[in-house]
Homo-oligomer: A and B are copies of this chain.
Amino acid sequence: MFAIGEASKRSGVAIETIRYYEREGIVIKPARGDNGRRAYSEKEIGQLRFIKRCRDLGFTIKDAQALLSLGEQQDENCKIAHDMSKAHLESVREKIESLRQLEKALEELMGNCASGNLQCPLLDRLHAD
């Protein structure tokens, strides 16, 4: 069994975040030692690591929980996980696209705006009716 600091190091999840996950019921409560301190098993640390990976991939906590619970069933798991990932991938692609447009708009806005101007075309554009 591992203390919370060790669980944090092994899973990559910050200590405060681990306690937050517990408060919110995102992970089950770990056992406590005689001193009242949390004691994590390898399996519990694995779950934290799983959630961390999902979050790093941009899944929401809810999605991470859903994906985690798939591990405990047997049927259709792969299809469900695949579908969730597909939906997520699509939303990632949409975000990329809208950021690209934003990039373009900013580039355009900055285009004819040199440093020495007194009347700023960039600000003018933002102010226009």
Contact = CB atoms under 8 A, between A and B. Distances in A.
Interface of A: 46, 49-50, 53-54, 57-58, 67, 70-71, 74-75, 77-79, 81-82, 85-86, 88-89, 92-93, 95-96, 99-100, 102-103, 105-107, 109-110, 113-123, 126-127, 129
Contacts of A49: 129
Contact of A78 (B54, B70, B123): B123
Tell me if A's interface is mostly helix, strand, loop or mixed: helix
A77 B123 contact: yes
Given A58-B102, A77-B120, A92-B102, 19 more contacts: A49-B129, A50-B126, A50-B127, A57-B106, A67-B123, A70-B120, A70-B123, A71-B127, A75-B118, A77-B118, A77-B123, A78-B117, A78-B123, A81-B123, A82-B122, A85-B113, A88-B106, A92-B106, A96-B99
B122 A81 contact: yes
A85 to B, nearest CB: 5
